[in-house]
Structure 1
Amino acid sequence: MTGKPYIWTSQQARYKDFLSSDVRFSKRLQGGTTKFKIRDRRDLFMYKSLIEKLEHTEAIRWFPNHQVQESWIIEVEQELGFPLPPSYRWWLLNYGLAMLSGTQILTVTDPEHREYTDTDILYIYRLADEQTKQEGKLELFVPDEDEYYYFDTRTADELGEYKVMRLDYFNGEPEVYADSFAGFLEKLIDQRTPRNR
């Protein structure tokens, strides 16, 4: 870790303000359904569709009580030198850990175990070559297939969301898969949920 504090630009400061009102869900299981206590209803509206899909999907297996601590996220952002996008941050703080087709979506683990955890987004970034880093690629998900997904950190929108890119190893051409992490999860759920249910 570089140890240098992360300096927020004006656009990123607006993003940081957005994060300060991020959803903090306290989950309690009641009658087999998860109830959410909302601190900011704007974010409930933003993520309502995804929350509902996560409640009913079998495509993505997520694990209760594996949320990430915000201090871990801040430490990761400081070393990366750029912020993680809001919907990914929201996911980490409220869900944190999920598997799709037997492969874990990269997360943020506690600093004590980061060096031994190949599902930590910072650990994988450290292994990337310089060209990958210069191209703004932050690996997100590598299924047991001939493709992988990454954040293009050069594409931040006004909220700080990065496009999620999909690279097909066969043709070698990256394509925009989703405009945000939330969109990425929704699309994966939609594509991998059987139609006749």
Structure 2
Amino acid sequence: MYDDLIKVIEEAGDRVEFASFGDGISDYWIELAEKRLGIILPKSYKWWLKNYNGGEVFGEEIYSVYGIDFDEVVGGDIVYINELSRKNNSSFKDKLIILEADDEVFYFDLSNGLKDNEYPVYELYSNTMYANSFAEFLKKRITE
């Protein structure tokens, strides 16, 4: 199902810094993150977490699940980042931030729920849809 994405990642060379395929985070931590965030994470994002554990594209960290107690974790853990964002800005309740770069912020749009087990990915400042799924988001970030 994700063969095209695996190929894009493998061919990306030093543009991508992920764990080796198969060295991802456990279902246990994904379920804890979903419970803490109060949402179901999209299918392709969970696949990426389970297989690559997170990482960077062109030096920009895509938020993941660190596998550290959520009350102690800092940095690019998706739970930490989004709890902090929601605490500081109530308009983020329907957004789950997945990447913050110098001039772009990408998020899952939670407002309409999951469609085909995915959330669309939007860019915050332009308020435009960037990708229909996390898998499409990754492909675009790697190949653009």
Query: What is the TM-score with the length of structure 2 in the denominator?
Result: 0.87
What are the equivalent positions in structure 2 for 1:116-155 lying under 5 Å apart?
116-129=73-86, 131-134=90-93, 136-143=94-101, 145-155=102-112
Aligned CA RMSD, in angstroms, stands at 1.8
- Deviation at residue 165 of structure 1 after TM alignment: 0.5
What are the equivalent positions in structure 2 for 1:86-165 lying under 5 Å apart?
86-112=43-69, 115-129=72-86, 131-134=90-93, 136-143=94-101, 145-165=102-122
- Residue 139 of structure 2 corresponds to 186
Native 8 Å contact 2:24 2:49 kept in 1: yes
- Deviation at residue 104 of structure 1 after TM alignment: 1.4
Displacement over 4 Å in runs of 4+: none
Q: What stretches of structure 1 of length at least 5 have no aligned partner? A: 1-45, 192-197
Match for 1:139: what amino acid? I
Choose 1 or 2 for highest CA Rg: 1
Q: State the number of aligned residues.
A: 140
Q: Report the more deviating stretch, 94-103 or 75-84.
A: 94-103
- Deviation at residue 158 of structure 1 after TM alignment: 3.5
- Residue 194 of structure 1 corresponds to none
Q: What stretches of structure 2 of length at least 5 have no aligned partner? A: none
- Deviation at residue 164 of structure 1 after TM alignment: 0.5
C-alpha distance in 1 between matches for 2:104 and 2:42: 22
DSSP-derived class of the 1:161 partner: coil
- Deviation at residue 113 of structure 1 after TM alignment: 6.8
- Deviation at residue 66 of structure 1 after TM alignment: 4.4
Higher relative contact order (CA 8 A, sep 6+): 2
Query: What is the TM-score with the length of structure 1 in the denominator?
Result: 0.65
Spell out, residue by residue over 1:105-149, the C-alpha distance to the aligned partner (whole angstroms, 9 max, x if none).
100011337623311000011102352333x11010112x21111
1:69 aligns with 2:26: yes
